[in-house]
């Protein structure tokens, strides 16, 4: 297929060619992969400025997207893409195979750095979904940082550079400029642009940006970042969002309120730290969906023998009604917990629907070819780079989570370039539950950790007041 780039794509390609460090903050659907591969091809075979390029990507993207793009476009026929995946033996064999672009999943960044040590061979690195390197404490960040001096050109790609707030930017920008713009350390960055937020007597749980910090940070990084919005460049069909509110029956409502009250009353003196908030929020989300894991010992988790107890079927029944209302239209269904998926499959076991699970590139092909009526996926496995727009135009969120990054990226699997129909995003939310807090947070584009803490502290105060 002949590649005829849009004007904005030409601009991005030119910027990569002209810059030895660049971040492309492009919304899903704008073609980050083809833009980057076109630039790599030019740098490799026309300008002879690079020899080997390493692409670091989420696992599903590493398995499918980069090879698929290379095979799709005529002008990339000279490029050889090698996937560095699988067992250690397979990865080593791949690294010793001739190629131009070597694609590895983000979980193996530390491994590849350790494998080469002081003999780093990649003069160009592309970080696909750079927001996965937002944590300065992560091993993958530290590993890549250790070889940064051996990388002559680096490109970061993401549609959500700061999913949890401005604090996420430091590590990503550091990998580009080695601390030139935002500071050599995270401490320097915090001191310059933030003040302590939520805290107890000794521990700071979060930081809040100072007034004007957003503009100041943007001014510092503007020269090495390109930020574009899909709405400005793509003619996409409408996207309609709706929420189906689920009312629990009296027995289920009592069960939810009991768990919420008892779990909250376990919090001493109303002090809710990030760890206890995450556990509590997780349990309440499970219960809103209809089931909770029980007897979660370390031994059980290690054996992957997690047992769940079903508390109610109210959300399942609402889900069934929605599926029936769609009359066979293809649906991409996101679940939050494994027991959600198990219960959905059991609930629909007698239906005539062709149900698939997103596990491999074969599942992607089956969905896009119209051979699957309902595709079940966890948002973390479908969040980056996957093109699913040919398979349908309905997204159903059986269970939500607090991550705005996962939410936006998951929805963009259907609502992206090439989608020819109106996209409908359906939420199932239990009235009066933590579901509504999550929806409010996502709607307001808030920090999910901060929103979780705020929501649960409100509930703590409410129940403490009843004692």
Query: pLDDT per residue over 403-442, tens digit each?
Result: 888 898 899 899 988 888 889 999 999 988 999 988 988 8
Q: Is residue 1 in some structural domain?
A: no
Task: Check whether residue 24 and residue 158 sit in a common domain.
Answer: yes
Q: What is the pLDDT of residues 115-135, one digit of tens each?
A: 998 899 999 999 998 988 999
Pairing assessment for the beta strands 291-294 and 374-377 based on DSSP bridges: unpaired
Q: Is residue 48 in some structural domain?
A: yes
Task: Check whether residue 315 and residue 441 sit in a common domain.
Answer: yes
Q: Is residue 180 in some structural domain?
A: yes
Band of residue 328 on the pLDDT scale cut at 50, 70, 90 = confident
Task: Answer with the one of 233, 266, 292 that is the final residue of a domain.
Answer: 233
Q: What is the pLDDT of residues 287-307, one digit of tens each?
A: 999 998 886 555 555 555 678
State residue 347's pLDDT score: 94
State residue 274's pLDDT score: 47
Q: How far apart are CA 399 and CA 339, in angstroms?
A: 11
Q: How many CB atoms lie within 10 A of CB 418?
A: 11
Residue numbers of the domain that contains 64: 7-233
Q: Is residue 187 in some structural domain?
A: yes
Task: Check whether residue 225 and residue 257 sit in a common domain.
Answer: no
When mean pLDDT is compared across 65-69, 312-316, 332-336, 390-394, the lowest value belongs to 65-69
**Any idea what the CATH number is for the domain that residue 223 is in?**
3.40.50.10810
Task: Check whether residue 210 and residue 329 sit in a common domain.
Answer: no
Task: Answer with the one of 217, 233, 249 that is the final residue of a domain.
Answer: 233
Which residue stretches of 52-101 are H helix?
Answer: 59-72, 88-95
Band of residue 285 on the pLDDT scale cut at 50, 70, 90 = very high
Task: Check whether residue 398 and residue 368 sit in a common domain.
Answer: yes
Q: How far apart are CA 50 and CA 45, in angstroms?
A: 9
> 165 or 359: which carries more pLDDT confidence?
359
How far lies 159's CA from each of 27, 129, 383, 447, in Å?
A: 4, 7, 11, 16
**Any idea what the CATH number is for the domain that residue 397 is in?**
3.40.50.300
Q: Using CB atoms within 10 A of its CB, is residue 49 exposed (0-12), middle (13-18) or buried (19+)?
A: middle
Q: In this model, does residue 93 exceed pLDDT 90?
A: yes
Q: In this model, does residue 270 exceed pLDDT 50?
A: no
Q: Best-predicted range by mean pLDDT among 15-19, 379-383, 457-461? A: 15-19
State residue 279's pLDDT score: 76
Task: Check whether residue 451 and residue 405 sit in a common domain.
Answer: yes
Number of domains the chain is built from: 2
Task: Check whether residue 216 and residue 74 sit in a common domain.
Answer: yes
Band of residue 455 on the pLDDT scale cut at 50, 70, 90 = low
Task: Check whether residue 185 and residue 277 sit in a common domain.
Answer: no
DSSP string, 182-247: T-SSHHHHHHHHEEE-SB-SS-B--EEEPTTHHHHHHHHHGGGEEEE-HHHH--PPPEEEEEEEEP
Q: In this model, does residue 275 exceed pLDDT 60?
A: no
Q: Which of 118, 116, 109, 172 is nearest to 143 (CA)?
A: 109
> 207 or 454: which carries more pLDDT confidence?
207
Query: Which pairs with CB-CB distance under 8 Å and at least 24 residues apart come from 270-277?
Result: 270/457, 270/460, 270/461, 270/464, 271/200, 272/453, 272/456, 272/457, 272/460, 273/200, 273/203, 273/205, 274/205, 274/449, 274/453, 277/452, 277/453, 277/456
pTM of this prediction?
A: 0.66
């Amino acid at each position: 297929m002949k590649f005829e780039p849009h004007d904005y794509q030409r601009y991005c390609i030119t910027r990569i060619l002209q810059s030895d460090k660049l971040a492309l903050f492009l919304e899903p659907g704008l073609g980050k992969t083809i833009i980057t591969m076109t630039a790599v091809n030019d740098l490799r075979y026309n300008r002879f400025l690079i020899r080997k390029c390493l692409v670091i990507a989420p696992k599903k993207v590493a398995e499918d997207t980069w090879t698929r793009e290379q095979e799709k476009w005529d002008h990339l026929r000279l490029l050889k893409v090698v996937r560095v995946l699988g067992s250690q033996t397979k990865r080593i064999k791949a690294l010793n195979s001739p190629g131009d672009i070597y694609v590895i999943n983000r979980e193996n960044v530390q491994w590849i750095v350790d494998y080469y040590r002081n003999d780093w061979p990649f003069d160009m690195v592309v970080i696909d979904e750079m927001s996965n390197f937002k944590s300065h404490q992560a091993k993958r960040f530290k590993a890549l940082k250790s070889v940064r001096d051996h990388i002559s050109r680096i490109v970061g790609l993401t549609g959500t550079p700061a999913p949890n707030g401005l604090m996420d930017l430091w590590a990503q920008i550091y990998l580009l400029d080695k601390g030139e713009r935002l500071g050599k350390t995270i401490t320097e960055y915090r001191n310059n642009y933030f003040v302590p937020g939520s805290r107890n007597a000794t521990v700071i749980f979060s930081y809040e940006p100072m007034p004007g910090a957003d503009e100041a940070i943007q001014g510092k990084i503007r020269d090495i970042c390109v930020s574009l919005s899909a709405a400005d460049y793509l003619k996409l069909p409408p996207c309609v969002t709706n929420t189906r509110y689920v009312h629990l029956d009296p027995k289920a409502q009592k069960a939810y309120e009991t768990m919420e009250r008892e779990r909250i009353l376990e919090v001493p003196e109303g002090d809710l730290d990030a760890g206890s908030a995450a556990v509590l929020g997780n349990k309440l989300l499970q219960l809103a969906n209809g089931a909770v894991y029980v007897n979660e010992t370390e031994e059980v988790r290690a054996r992957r023998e997690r047992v769940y107890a079903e508390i109610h079927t109210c959300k399942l029944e609402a889900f069934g009604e929605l599926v029936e209302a769609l009359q066979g239209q293809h649906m991409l269904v996101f679940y939050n917990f494994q027991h959600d998926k198990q219960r959905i499959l059991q609930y629909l076991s007698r239906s005539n629907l062709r149900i698939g699970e997103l596990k491999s590139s074969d599942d992607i092909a089956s969905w896009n070819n119209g051979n699957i009526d309902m595709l079940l996926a966890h948002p973390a496995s479908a969040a980056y780079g996957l093109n699913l727009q040919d398979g349908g135009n309905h997204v159903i969120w059986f269970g939500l989570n607090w991550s705005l990054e996962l939410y936006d990226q998951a929805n963009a699997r259907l609502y992206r370039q090439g989608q020819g129909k109106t996209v409908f995003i359906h939420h199932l939310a239990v009235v009066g539950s933590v579901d509504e807090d999550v929806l409010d947070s996502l709607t307001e584009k808030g920090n999910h950790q901060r929103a979780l803490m705020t929501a649960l502290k409100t509930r703590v105060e409410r129940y403490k007041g009843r004692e």
